Amino acid sequence: MSRTYRIKATQVLPVSQQQAWDYFSNPNNLQHITPPSMGFTVTSETDEGRIYPGLIIEYRIKPVLGIPVYWMTEITHVRPFEFFVDEQRYGPYSLWHHQHHFNPVAGGVEMTDIVHYRIPLGMLGDLANAMFVRRKLDTLFEYRRNIIPKLLLT
């Protein structure tokens, strides 16, 4: 079995908790905060653009060499304005558990993403993580760190 990896990314956004929640709880905004090179598109209907426990979201993503991959997640927990969790139901990981937290702080809201993930194929998956998966995820969160303030302030 592969190892379980963890990524934690935190940034302070100069917006209210309500503004942050309204933006990030809308699945239609996911493609705007994902690098264009990943070819990310939401392919499912997203019911009024708001999350709720049990919501299934389907995507197409091209994480490696432009090869399209189907990915399905479920929103499993929601505490409005504070946090939500999405978990993979089908896709490239053997485990994907992504927490999104929103805490008011001086000057805005602190947004924290905590991802636990595991790659299939045992030692080969661990090697893939060391060679490119972790870098790809770090690049994704770095992209978000740069693009999100611009999107929220326009």
Q: Per residue in 73-115, pLDDT tens?
A: 999 999 999 999 999 999 999 999 999 999 999 999 999 999 9
pLDDT tens for residues 28-40? 898 899 999 888 9
Looking at residue 145, its pLDDT comes to: 92
Which range marks the domain in which residue 64 is found? Answer: 4-152
Helix 134-152, helix 17-24: angle, nearest 10? 120
Q: How many domains does the chain have?
A: 1
Which residue carries 């991959």 as its tokens?
A: 69
Nearest Cα to 21, choosing from 79, 87, 93? 79
Quick check: 65 pLDDT over 80?
A: no
Q: How far is CA 135 from CA 47, 62, 90, 94, 96, in A?
A: 33, 15, 22, 18, 16
Note the pTM of the prediction, 2 decimals.
Answer: 0.92
3-state secondary structure (DSSP) of residue 119: coil
Instruction: State the CATH number of the domain containing residue 57.
Output: 3.30.530.20
Looking at residue 121, its pLDDT comes to: 86
